[in-house]
Chain A
């Protein structure tokens, strides 16, 4: 707990230095070469507290950060926090669904692969998941988009609803789900390999244990041995992996969201890079880091709860 807070503090300090020291003249980059009277620049410098000593600047920054004031986006001229909050639901829906699907399917595939080790099923699953694991996720998205939305127009090419759509209520929800299908499929395929490999490896470890021999000697059927005795003991690393991956739900689909023009945090990041819209990038980076730190804490706590041998962390 204390460790997590310390990590968060580290991220805040890091963020401060990253954007204020490396980027020597924030006001100058705000106008990017346009001719602006010196008085205006001085005024802004004062307004942002840039004429203050470094330590004062740091406290100003901390105060603003904790009141969720990340400044104004260069591109939209709206407060960064409002922009971010507006983009959160789309990302949570897309990446959340993909994270759950990939965890469930990936783990199931891993169990089959380990239990039927060195059969064609195992080889097929292992090499298939390795293949998807080795390609850039956005490239997989590009191929699926061309195949299933351009050549065979089964799915929409992008966005969260059709352009100019006026649907409401349930119809809108259905329309959004339909638009989400292809990006969610892409992310599920891209993520599940990790679960398959971890589950398989962990289950193979367990399969040598004596208690499985005992369970078999008792006369339990193969399926019961697997589901009651082997799998529960092999799931611990998988659960940790899932908890850690959930921390990446907010930041996990930057390029894929860009490919499918999915209006979430990832696309906001991709757009901010093009600017570059530094206040936006800074806000997004802080949010992404906070999410990861929070879910790491959750992972640690669950781990201790599921495996009492892990002492207080």
Chain B
């Protein structure tokens, strides 16, 4: 990449960041997200992972169904495990699955969208037909069916979310590629002898990457909520307790009838906060990319 292009991109990034910083909703979202990322990264410092093991919890002499004032900071569950430890370690799984599934979603969606929009013709027709089909099949039932067949593991959940939620990204990216393709600089590059790969890499991709980023930020909430639903329905990884898994165990073991609010409130609030944070960040990025949207 030439140094001029490099400088220009640096300047663009700087401008986006300045605009982002001046948006109150964007900064609130970013701060909330930062807190949860720190919690997830610092999990070993915040809670002993052995607290997740019922045998260890019993040996420690933890009480059963203890409320937060009996056992700090968030009480214990039906097999004496600390709810705080589950919250801290669950944030790791929930954030990881949400982000990894989004990466997969955006990757599939972008590849399909770019190939479809750039090549056009029959390839475009076939890919868009496929996209339409995936768009129509009800998303959660499809994810449930796939997860039931594939088995319960973190990677399967990531795969299932990625494979079911790429179509809207593909459509969006394709539309953007179609408009960028018409621009003069693409014609210029082509007449100078540039091949398809060069045009996509140097001209199309930089011009759709902003849209892809905004779309990715808005796809994370969907991934996290889907993971939560799948885990709640019993399709979560038994070895990696996410927030959704905590909610499932709380529900199945009667936390609601006992009014053990400390068991199911924290995980749900965590999901709510992270989802809201990504939504706020995504909306801000979208407004920066498309100023017509601001004030919406």
Q: Which residues from chain A sit less than 8 Å from chain B, CB to CB? A: 3, 7, 10-11, 14, 18-19, 22-23, 117-118, 130-131, 134-136, 138-139, 142-143, 145-146, 150-151, 157, 200-201, 204, 247-248, 251, 254-255, 258-259, 269-270, 273-274, 276, 278, 281-282, 284-285, 288-289, 291-293, 296
- Pick from B140, B251, B268: contact of A251, CB below 8 A: B140
Would you call B126 an interface residue if the criterion is a C-beta within 8 Å of the partner chain's C-beta atoms? no
Closest residue to A248 on the B side, CB-wise? B138
Please tell me if the beta carbons of A18 and B271 are within 8 angstroms of each other in the complex.
no
Whole-angstrom distance between the alpha carbons of A136 and B137 in the complex? 21
Q: Knowing A118-B295, A273-B144 are in contact, say whether A142-B264 is a contact too (CB < 8 A).
A: yes
Additional A-B contacts beyond A251-B140, A273-B235 (20; CB < 8 A): A3-B132, A7-B133, A23-B149, A134-B221, A135-B275, A136-B228, A136-B247, A139-B268, A142-B256, A146-B256, A150-B259, A201-B296, A204-B295, A204-B296, A248-B138, A254-B141, A258-B232, A273-B234, A292-B137, A296-B136
16 A-B pairs, CB-CB below 8 angstroms?
A22-B149, A23-B149, A130-B276, A134-B279, A136-B225, A142-B247, A143-B268, A151-B259, A251-B140, A273-B148, A274-B234, A281-B145, A285-B145, A288-B141, A289-B136, A292-B137
Please tell me if the beta carbons of A259 and B251 are within 8 angstroms of each other in the complex.
yes
Please tell me if the beta carbons of A150 and B138 are within 8 angstroms of each other in the complex.
no
Find the residue from B133, B138, B146, B149 having the highest chain A CB count within 10 A.
Answer: B138
- Render B197-239 as a binary contact track against A, CB cut-off 8 A, 1 for contact: 0000000000000000000000001000100110011110000
Q: Knowing A146-B261, A259-B251 are in contact, say whether A293-B229 is a contact too (CB < 8 A).
A: no
Whole-angstrom distance between the alpha carbons of A22 and B163 in the complex? 15
- Render B116-157 as a binary contact track against A, CB cut-off 8 A, 1 for contact: 000000000000000011001110111011101110000000
Would you call B35 an interface residue if the criterion is a C-beta within 8 Å of the partner chain's C-beta atoms? no
Closest residue to A11 on the B side, CB-wise? B137
Would you call B257 an interface residue if the criterion is a C-beta within 8 Å of the partner chain's C-beta atoms? yes
Whole-angstrom distance between the alpha carbons of A220 and B275 in the complex? 43
Would you call B49 an interface residue if the criterion is a C-beta within 8 Å of the partner chain's C-beta atoms? no
Closest residue to B150 on the A side, CB-wise? A22
Residues 259-280 (chain B) with a chain A CB within 8 angstroms: 259, 261, 264-265, 268, 271-272, 275-276, 279
How far in angstroms is the closest Cβ of chain A from B133?
5
- Pick from B148, B268, B279, B296: contact of A136, CB below 8 A: B268
Smallest CB-CB A-B distances: 6 pairs: A139-B268, A134-B275, A288-B141, A135-B272, A134-B276, A288-B138
Q: Knowing A7-B133, A146-B256 are in contact, say whether A255-B232 is a contact too (CB < 8 A).
A: yes
Q: Knowing A150-B256, A284-B141 are in contact, say whether A134-B136 is a contact too (CB < 8 A).
A: no
Please tell me if the beta carbons of B276 and A142 are within 8 angstroms of each other in the complex.
no
How far in angstroms is the closest Cβ of chain A from B24?
12
Closest residue to A250 on the B side, CB-wise? B138
How far in angstroms is the closest Cβ of chain B from A282?
8
Q: Report the count of interface residues on B (CB-CB < 8 A).
A: 40
Closest residue to A284 on the B side, CB-wise? B141
Q: Knowing A19-B149, A151-B259, A273-B233 are in contact, say whether A136-B271 is a contact too (CB < 8 A).
A: yes
Find the residue from A136, A269, A281, A292 having the highest chain B CB count within 10 A.
Answer: A136
Question: B150 to chain A: which residues have CB within 8 Å?
Answer: 22
Question: A145 to chain B: which residues have CB within 8 Å?
Answer: 256
- Pick from B145, B233, B275: contact of A258, CB below 8 A: B233
- Pick from A136, A143, A274, A288: contact of B229, CB below 8 A: A136
Find the residue from B256, B261, B275 having the highest chain A CB count within 10 A.
Answer: B256
How far in angstroms is the closest Cβ of chain A from B148?
5
Find the residue from B133, B145, B232 having the highest chain A CB count within 10 A.
Answer: B145
Please tell me if the beta carbons of B259 and A146 are within 8 angstroms of each other in the complex.
yes
Question: B235 to chain A: which residues have CB within 8 Å?
Answer: 273
Whole-angstrom distance between the alpha carbons of A285 and B144 in the complex? 9
Question: A247 to chain B: which residues have CB within 8 Å?
Answer: 138
Q: Knowing A118-B295, A292-B138 are in contact, say whether A134-B272 is a contact too (CB < 8 A).
A: yes
Question: B259 to chain A: which residues have CB within 8 Å?
Answer: 146, 150-151
Q: Knowing A135-B272, A136-B225, A251-B138 are in contact, say whether A200-B296 is a contact too (CB < 8 A).
A: yes
Whole-angstrom distance between the alpha carbons of A296 and B138 in the complex? 11
Question: B229 to chain A: which residues have CB within 8 Å?
Answer: 136, 138, 254-255
How far in angstroms is the closest Cβ of chain B from A306?
21
How far in angstroms is the closest Cβ of chain A from B77?
15
Whole-angstrom distance between the alpha carbons of A145 and B259 in the complex? 10
